[in-house]
Amino acid sequence: MSKVYGYARVSTVSQDLTIQVNAIMTMGVEPENIFTDKLSGKNMEREGLQTLLSLIETGDTLIVHKLDRLGRSVSQIMSLVDELKNKGIYLVIMDAGIDTRNDEGMAGMMTKALMTIISLMAEMERVLILERTQAGIENARANGVKFGRPEVNKNAYDLAVIDYLENDMTSSAIIKKYGKDSAGKDLITEATLFRRVREYQSYQTAIKSYLESGKTKSVEELIAEGEHKKVRGEMKPILKAKKLTQMIKEVM
């Protein structure tokens, strides 16, 4: 039987989700089927969104209060919308009157028209970003800037993870602490920091499970029971066999 899910997002932990959640509930969505994030929409690696995407299936419906709750850029939003469409998942955008479940009559025509306009805006956004990026590169080269992959301290993120989990430092404080790389960019980025924290916790959980089993669980078993994440529509394990094997050797 198909299900109806809701998704709500605010950009910071100090903001309130109540208005969005209440609005979604008026559409008949059960509270336990509403997923939320208090995080910027600059990337799609949001825990609530990723959990939702791992559960929602063909024939299900996703309801959001406003379109921009799905992401920060039009192209990013359209990428997610296309992913949902390709999976046969319906989308309802409350404030825009978009409901892809209804493809008949005037309502269906309006929904298709709005989605077409949004798609065109996404394409325009991609073109403008490409043009600005190319112009910026050419201008920088004219001023003697050399491009290439900057050198990154491989241990920086390991230390940053400890700062975040054990030293109770905020992500902004950590970014400031480690400064910038040779290209003038932050050596630590928030998105990568949170990803590394998640990975670190996954490996620690796996080692704990290994020890609790009396050191009998295999690497394959630990990877299978460990956390997975969605990559290009497929669920992939966070744990890597080589690294986990080395960690197991260290506790044997």
Tell me which residues are annotated as active site: 11
Other beta carbons less than 10 A from residue 131's beta carbon: 10
Burial class (CB in 10 A: 0-12, 13-18, 19+), 113: exposed
Paired strand residues for 7: 35, 64
Q: Is 78 helix (H, G, I), strand (E, B) or coil?
A: helix
Q: How many residues does the chain have?
A: 252
Which spans in the chain are helix H? 18-25, 47-55, 74-86, 105-142, 156-165, 171-178, 190-212, 219-225, 241-251
Q: What DSSP designation does 57 have?
A: -
* Distance between CA atoms of residues 69 and 77, nearest Å: 9
Q: Give me 187's structure tokens.
A: 């050596």
Please report, for residues 8, 120, 131, 189, the alpha-carbon distance to residue 19 in angstroms, rounded to integers and kept in the order given: 9, 30, 38, 31
Any residues with CB less than 8 A from the CB of 208 and at least 6 apart, and which? Answer: none
